[in-house]
Amino acid sequence: MVKFGAHLYLWAEKLDVASLKYIKKIKELGFDGFEIPLTELDSIDIEKTKKELKRQDVIGIGSLGLPKDMDIVSSDEATRRRGIEFMKRCVNAISELGGDSINGVVYASWGKITGKPRTQEEWKRSVESLKEVCRYAKDYGVTFGLEPVNRFETYFLNTATDALKLAKDVGEPNVKVHLDTFHMNIEEKDFYHPIKEVGSMLGHMHCCESDRGMAGTGHVDWNGVFRALSEVKYDKWIVFESFTMDMEKIAASTAIWRKMAPSADALATGGLKFLKQMAQKYLTK
């Protein structure tokens, strides 16, 4: 049965002691899980976070966009090594927090644009780096989800087809594909067929509206999304990821220039209500 999660970026730009209060909020709003950004890993107090997750009966899910100085497709070996070792630290952290997955732009640095298509050498570096990380993560029961994102955020992986190919080239049992309807709306021809193509390799799902606003208020083909999820027997996470102008750093990096809803809470509750309705219609039969 699917579980529903919300990303911390709705309310805070990093997980530190001050933002632990949002775990309780997420629970009160009706979510099962909490997507934790791992980019600022050193800000996380593992013990206090673990206690709060347990207290609120909320599951932690890892979210990561690799920084540019940790690019695992870089021609610089030291940069690649930093990325690999950082991802191993992320594995340790999410495992300690009781989570079992890290999803996102984990195959190259997020936001890097070269002005050219990816190269075969870069692909090879990504495969080799991910193999090492996934083999390390296997002992911790942690899975990595490769998220193709739109062309304005990366040149490396934009479509479900490419993400599936990369996952198969890595070839480890704990590497999956992570799809996001916001990015699919830009890069895919439709929503149904990419999900069907990925099939059992689909390990994580971000259900976001076409404008990154409240799910159900834009032109994402939600019937196509959930029909495909039903047909591939998807039973993992459905995470609502959106952003507000209040999170200035995140808003700047994700191009949120206008108010998407009256508040982050309104975005979350409205989006969750809609997604649960769709799941009830398609995923409970």
* CA-angle at 169, arms to 167 and 174, nearest 5°: 45
Which helix (H) or strand (E) covers residue 83, if one does? helix 77-96
13 is an active site residue = no
Task: Find out whether 166 and 155 touch, Cβ atoms under 8 Å.
Answer: no
Which of 52, 153, 197, 241 is catalytic? The answer is 241
Q: Which of 50, 49, 19, 9 is nearest to 251 (CA)?
A: 9
121 is an active site residue = no
- As a whole number of angstroms, the distance between CA 265 and CA 267 comes to 5
Which helix (H) or strand (E) covers residue 12, if one does? none
Task: Give residue for tokens 């990504």.
Answer: 126
Beta bridge partners of 206: 180, 239
Concatenated DSSP letters for 170-231? H--TTEEEEEEHHHHHHHSS-SHHHHHHHGGGEEEEE---TTSSSTTSSS--HHHHHHHHHH
- As a whole number of angstroms, the distance between CA 105 and CA 67 comes to 10
Which of 147, 188, 197, 209 is catalytic? The answer is 147
**Annotated catalytic sites, by residue?**
147, 241
